[in-house]
Amino acid sequence: MRLTVSQALIKFLDNQYIAFDGEEEKFVEGVFGIFGHGCVVGVGQALEQGGHGLRYYQGHNEQGMAHAAIAYAKQKNRRAIIPCVSSIGPGALNMVTAAGTATANRIPLLLLPGDTFANRQPDPVLQQIEQSNNYTTTANDAFKPVCKYWDRINRPEQLMTAMLNAMRVLTDPAQTGAVCIALPQDVEAEAFDFPEYFLEKRVWHIDRRPACNREIEAAGSLIAQSKKPLMIVGGGVAYSEAWQTAQYFAERGNIPFSETQAGKGLIRWDHPLNLGGIGVTGGPAANKIAKEADLIIAVGTRLSDFTTASKWLFQNPNVKILTINLCSLDAFKMDATPIIADAKSALLDLTVLLDELNYVSSWGHELNSVKDEYTFEINERYSEELEGGLSQTRALGLINDFVDESAVIVGSSGSLPGCLQRLWRSGLPKTYHMEYAFSCMGYEVCGSLGVKLAQPQSEVYAMVGDGSFLMLHSELYTAIQEGLKINILLFDNYGWGCIEGLQNEQGTDTFGTQFTARNCETGLLDGPVVPIDFAKIAEGYGCKSYRVNNAQELQAALKDAKNQTKSTLIDIKVLPGSMSSGYGAWWRVGVAEVSESQAVKDAYNAMNENIKRARLY
């Protein structure tokens, strides 16, 4: 079939399918794009020409639309994607941050940036970067460090192997992440006789990889020797759809479990064995039990520094670590005994093993005790009344009580992820959507659009700070354009409160983290707070907006927003510093080794003491 490279690409994408647990579904149903001279007459022409079933979504910032695509794939459990098309130069480079977000989170993201001319005849073209040491280098080479697969189509026939390799990575649960296929703008429009078998329907099977007998036997030995195990439920449990299996495994062995940001909410918050979030942004229950546990069963987690408190949290001198993960990079972390397998398949095998061993942990009343203390702590934070205004935790409590169990909350950066992992009470799976592997500011609003595209029947709430909203909220316009309602809950604490807290905790006075005006007398940014009417910004987009300063106004705004049919924004003025604090965890950051400040010296000494208690690998 004689087609241009772009036409063949669109036809190919339109015929890709996923099969999982016997169910087949379309892998690509739409394409995000921002057209420029590097793609509008190539891929843009192919999309306009038709003859395909892909819907075109108009993005308004390349990073923003790619973040929406990431959220869409994440909410779809990695079994559907929205590819992103951009022009060359700055349009392409805007997506590099999103590529890092996707790869760090193990989420499939297909990026199709335009590129310079393969034939080099009109060079240098508009927006082309020229490198005197290597003329083949273009802006798109910047994607290489943050992508799981990268290719450039310099000849039409290269499209076939490139796209098959792209799909191989995008549909591989162990290797997935960002994929970049750079498209030189002349090649986009070149024609080739593509074989029909390349363009026919292709089904990619995501099979449940079983654990081998040796792995199960090794795991059985560890479990049999342990008296106080703790399971960590990670994002791999979500993508395997293994939350019921994980719950049954825990119940069968009386094994308490904790949650990472990606694993939170898969099992009800009030389950007796659910100790809530673990690690730096975790709560007191999970962190206390983690220090006593003699076996950590880490299921589908990257074991990041926030989950392990910089390898410091597991204080039992005899603790062992057992991992269940499809990705060997994650499975072997912290000198673990690995099971490289699908989470659901492996947990089913281990549940059978518990029966054979007649295994029940030795945990007793202490689980009830820490769970009760944790519930009391959440109630205290949710009901606290502070002089001078509304606290962030009080606002979250009101929101948590109000929103439907089926509503999805979306977050990523600042102090809100900590408050949410510690305090938010999730009732149904897949209603807690947190991007925290990259913790990318600006994900929240754009991600909410992606979640709404994936799950249009649910109310979607973006939990976003003022700093992150200012960073990026472009796809709010796309939501309005598509007639999709998202709700933005904007917590305005007049700065980067999370980082200010970190700054102060490590001995440094507040500097550069509050949104204040330049003081003409001192020359510093220590003048009065610069007030921003975020509600008016949203009104300019066409949203229904609200201004909130107290609990009563917040309750009224939430109620009215729920009845709206268009996107809403609630501008919530919260007291600076009113977020939740850490609960018995440590986070290693680079504290200055020398300083004139005694507070910084003390922080440096404290850091070294904690390093002595942390694992080295």
pLDDT in tens, 450-486: 999 999 999 999 999 999 999 999 999 999 999 999 9
Q: Provide the pLDDT for residue 499.
A: 95
Cβ-Cβ contacts under 8 Å for 379 (sequence gap 6 or more): none
Q: Which amino acid is at 198?
A: F
294 with 252, same domain: the answer is yes
Q: Which residues pair with 150 in a beta bridge?
A: 180
Element spanning 406, H or E: none
172 domain residue, yes or no:
yes
Of 341, 370, 399, the last residue of a domain is 370
CA atoms within 13 A on the CB side of 362: 10
Characterize 310-341 residue by residue with b for buried, 16 or more Cβ atoms within 10 angstroms of its Cβ, and e for exposed.
bbbbbeeeebbbbbbbbbeebbebbebbbbbb
CATH code of the domain covering residue 329: 3.40.50.1220
195 with 289, same domain: the answer is no
603 domain residue, yes or no:
no
499 domain residue, yes or no:
no
Pairwise CA distance, residues 99 & 94, whole Å: 10
Compute φ and ψ for 123, nearest 5 degrees: -60, 150
Residue where the block lists tokens 């949650």: 259
191 with 220, same domain: the answer is no
End-to-end CA distance of the chain: 54
Look up residue 518 and give its DSSP letter: P
- As given in the structure block, the two tokens for residue 413 are 């950066």
- As given in the structure block, the two tokens for residue 261 are 């940001």
- As given in the structure block, the two tokens for residue 313 are 């949290």
290 domain residue, yes or no:
yes
Element spanning 46, H or E: helix 43-49
Domain that holds residue 401: 384-494+529-573
Closest to 110 in 3D by CA, of 184, 206, 182:
182
421 domain residue, yes or no:
yes
CATH code of the domain covering residue 450: 3.40.50.970
143 with 58, same domain: the answer is yes
Residues in the chain: 617
184 with 240, same domain: the answer is no
Considering its fold, how many domains does the chain have in total? 3
Q: Provide the pLDDT for residue 518.
A: 95
How far does CA 375 lie from the centroid of its chain? Answer: 26
Number of Cβ atoms within 10 Å of the Cβ of 207:
11
Closest to 403 in 3D by CA, of 530, 555, 533:
555
360 with 426, same domain: the answer is no
How far does CA 198 lie from the centroid of its chain? Answer: 33
108-to-95, 175, 253, 350, 449 alpha-carbon distances in Å: 14, 9, 35, 29, 17
Element spanning 468, H or E: helix 466-471
> Is residue 50 classed exposed, middle or buried when 0-12, 13-18 and 19+ CB atoms within 10 A define those classes?
exposed
587-to-306, 307, 595 alpha-carbon distances in Å: 7, 10, 20
34 domain residue, yes or no:
yes
Pairwise CA distance, residues 448 & 56, whole Å: 18
352 with 438, same domain: the answer is no
Cβ–Cβ under 8 Å, residues 86 and 96: no
Low-confidence ranges of the chain (pLDDT < 70): none
378 domain residue, yes or no:
no
Closest to 68 in 3D by CA, of 54, 84, 53:
84
66 with 118, same domain: the answer is yes
The radius of gyration of the chain's CA atoms, rounded to the nearest angstrom, is 25
Q: Provide the pLDDT for residue 617.
A: 87
235 with 191, same domain: the answer is no
Pairwise CA distance, residues 300 & 416, whole Å: 23
How far does CA 567 lie from the centroid of its chain? Answer: 22
68 with 105, same domain: the answer is yes
305 with 252, same domain: the answer is yes
Cβ–Cβ under 8 Å, residues 344 and 244: no
610 domain residue, yes or no:
no
355 with 405, same domain: the answer is no
Of 162, 189, 205, the last residue of a domain is 205
